[in-house]
Structure 1
Amino acid sequence: METTIIGPGGVGLALASCLHVSGVDLSFLGRQHPPNPLFTTEGIHRSGIFGRAAVPPESLLFHSTWRSLADQSPDYLLICSKADALEEIGRGLQSAWPHFDSEPIVILCQNGWGHFEKMTQWLPAKRIYNARVITGFKRAAANRVEVTVHADAIHIGSLADAPLAPVRPLVEAISAGGIPCRASPEIEADLIAKLLYNCLLNPLGALAQVPYGTLGEREETRLLMESLASEIFAVLEATGRETHWPSAEAYLDSFYRELLPPTAEHHSSMLQDLTAQRPTEIESLNGAIVRMGAEKGIPTPVNHALRTLIRAAESRPPAEPQ
């Protein structure tokens, strides 16, 4: 089984470590050519709550072009980049697609909503699967990732009702390599669950610069999160999206009792992006809710306000050195 990871960030590094442990042949494609020297001298290192794993440099192959990727013709393509890179990746894969020996399975690992629909502009819908990742990662260096928190297994499934059998070997390899993973027939509801979780926590955690648990302890941020949930459920009902909960109240009960405690010490990846002056995923999160709400005439003022504040923070000039 050959797998290519596009976008060797925190998620990509962690999945690579799992797949190597399971004996999967790995390759990478990223924006940096040649790759960071740390990959070619030290390999990949994973630490954290699922233990240590390493991928030696000689086990890493880096593609420099889409045609080079097609010539290898991997079984799976794991797209682990940020959402803002999806158009570039989609167009690149479209150019390479006729040259694959057989059509690979594409797995989208981004937070948020709308990525499947975007990718179908360039690739066949039945070859695209989504992954719901509700695990926290922290990169100490370009080639090192720490698994910091874990709320549930990675779920992989199809929004196009494609069969799950083709992804089961990948799911089993990831699980055997150290991070729980399973094929899901309810991937839409799974993705919506992650969307809810991210919309409530990511922007507030980034703006307040506090861990998730603190947001749940403070009355003012609880009120904001509850308003966000109410708006999101109104949009989901209007658009006919599937969820695991019948109402915002039922979701919030589960959120405070089951979902928030395991990640209470986690800091928002959006805060990490703002600190590093990288684009955030706000348009795929609260921005997606605002757009869906506008299409159905559902007001989403709190989601809109957070989206506006994060976009303002993204455009903030770098701090002057002290």
Structure 2
Amino acid sequence: MQGWSETDIPDLSGKRVLITGGASGIGYEAARALALHGAHVLIADRNEQGGRDAVARIQALKPGASVEFRALDLSSLESVRQFATSLVAEGGKLDILINNAGIQPISERRESADGFELTFAIGHLGHFVLTAGLWPLLLAASEPRIVTVSSMVHGRGTFDWDDLQITKGYAAQRPYNQTKLANLLFARELQRRVDLSGGKVKSIAVHPGVAQTSIGSNRKQLGKFRLGDHLISVILRFVMPYLGQPASAGALPTMYAASAPDAQGGGFYGPQGGGEMKGPPGSAKIKPAGQDMAVARKLWDVTEELTGVTFL
């Protein structure tokens, strides 16, 4: 995979892809690249105008590109269930599911419609329910893949099983770290369960390194900023561009995991240069927190209890 780039994406004609958070940033770049290589791409996002604009931008790049928008609010488990039920009712298959959507939280703790901490609800619980709901479509594909976007900060994540929703000692980075650890452990535990069942699904985790996306500006929609929130926004806006790479480069690990023939189920991929901050995709380091499969199994069980959804 040395030097792998967007031009190495194979012909994806006949493949159907769904990517959450595809209206902007890394999600958009992955949707764009996969659509330009022949896939039929469903962009799922709560930002309806942004999603429709993303479709128009891709089709302007390649007239006739097969891409469509579907509204999805991952912060509401009922909305996720209805979305999945509707898509399954349409029939067909889903070759690639990319669990990409997420938020960068602020200092004010926010809750989802179901009463869960908002970052965890969107990034982990919503994707768990979505994956379970779309399972029949994935099994209908010949070589299905699920790509889940984690982060380098997964190693800083922890779970307080007595306060998983972080009602005490809340700080903006804490739920983000927890959610990104959950993303990696979910992907790894999903592959373990697929292997035990003799299934064909590849579950792959990725991280984008340090990439310039709209996640910083989108934080303004989450509530009233405190001093620390303004400082983080300054860092995201002015410092990260010097350390990181464009969103199109940050999306390369996602593109690789979704399309490369040699991407391995259970693998973890990220940039290869500068401490995994940028560069072409390759195998990424799983930090100790992400290697604890006992915790991964417990997280799966707790997630089933929280969501009321079981599969595998």
Considering the TM-score relative to the shorter chain, is it more than 0.5? no
Q: TM-score, normalised by structure 2?
A: 0.42
**Which of the pair has more CA radius of gyration?**
1
TM-score (norm 1): 0.41
